[in-house]
Amino acid sequence: MAQNVDPYHAQRANNSKHSEEGRSNTNDSHAVTKRLQKELMSLMMSQERGVSAFPEGDNLFRWIGTIAGPKETVYELQKYKLCLQFPNSYPYTAPGVKFITPCFHPNVDNNGNICLDILKDKWSALYDVRTILLSIQSLLAEPNIDSPLNALAAELWSKPSEYKKHVLDTYKQV
């Protein structure tokens, strides 16, 4: 079966005539819970610098992530908080990810929404929280100005001093 196909939903589609119960929603969220616990342990044991994430309170389906601005960029001394919301169909469906900390960037809108292909049409069940955070950190250094959510940021990207001024004016540590 393809890596991005949720076997539960594929099986239900194939067996829709048989009204078979299959897995219940409880079992679905148990599988997701196990996956998220494994990812949390992996992140905690990781030596990865500049990215981290933990569940928000007791809710394993909602995490707060942090990324440090990439070195040698206008974001270098900044730390950004993000919210990750995991659906019951995770990892077959990408989590919702938004910046909590205001971020002036061509691929981030004023509400914190992120335009990143791996969070949309290029999502793979092989990705994990670490991959997501590292990809967003990399996006800060190398935006896709051909597909901007923030037209002003895309326009100013080629004017480093003006761009940096907007980044610093927008940034507020949360």
Catalytic positions: 115
Which DSSP category does 21 fall into? -
Residue 11: what are its φ and ψ, rounded to 5°?
-65, -40
CA–chain centroid gap for 12, Å, is 28
Q: What is the dihedral of CA 23, 29, 31, 35, to 10 degrees?
A: 160
Which DSSP category does 108 fall into?
A: B
Nearest CA among 8, 73, 48, 33 for reference residue 133: 48
